Amino acid sequence: MNLGDTYRRLGRRSDSIQAYRRGNAMTQDKVVNNPRDAYSRAFLALFAAHLGDRRRAEFEINQALGMGTENVKVLRAASRVYEALGDRNRTLITLRNAPGYLLNELNRQPDLKDLQRDPRFANLVASKPAQP
């Protein structure tokens, strides 16, 4: 994921797609071995979103959230998935019960600049304490 994100930010689309495909294949193997692994499913959704497979991204993130809405790693990935899919309302719905420290972390993520400019997100960040 990190390699794909780095290539994407550098404008190296072909390299980012290759990295996302490799990560997707590795993560699919993890999900096959443990279908109840919410975190792996969340990453599978994120890979799918970056690879342009909206249906798969939505399916996998819904599965992950259904298994682990209390899991901060899943919430973090879900917010990235929904933003990659251009679904701001789903991002905000997903994050409404997120802890303040996660919101503060997301408020510094380079891929979430548009979200950070949204007054609804800013209000959400301001309404929660930053400490876990």
Domain annotation for the chain: domains and CATH numbers: 2-126 (1.25.40.10)
| pLDDT at residue 131 is higher than 80 | no
Mean pLDDT of 103-127: 95
Give me the pLDDT at residue 68, please. Answer: 67
Element (H, E) at 62: helix 54-68
Give me the pLDDT at residue 12, please. Answer: 97
Give me the pLDDT at residue 132, please. Answer: 57
Upper half-sphere CA count for residue 51 (Cβ side, 13 Å): 21
Mean pLDDT of 21-31: 96
Round the average pLDDT of the chain to a whole number and report it.
94
Q: What is the pTM of this model?
A: 0.91
- Give yes or no for a contact between 81 and 57, defined as CB atoms under 8 angstroms apart: yes
How many Cβ atoms sit within 10 Å of the Cβ of residue 32?
A: 9
Give me the pLDDT at residue 46, please. Answer: 96
| pLDDT at residue 50 is higher than 90 | yes
- Which range has the worst mean pLDDT, 92-96, 98-102, 125-129? 125-129
| pLDDT at residue 105 is higher than 90 | yes
| pLDDT at residue 130 is higher than 80 | no
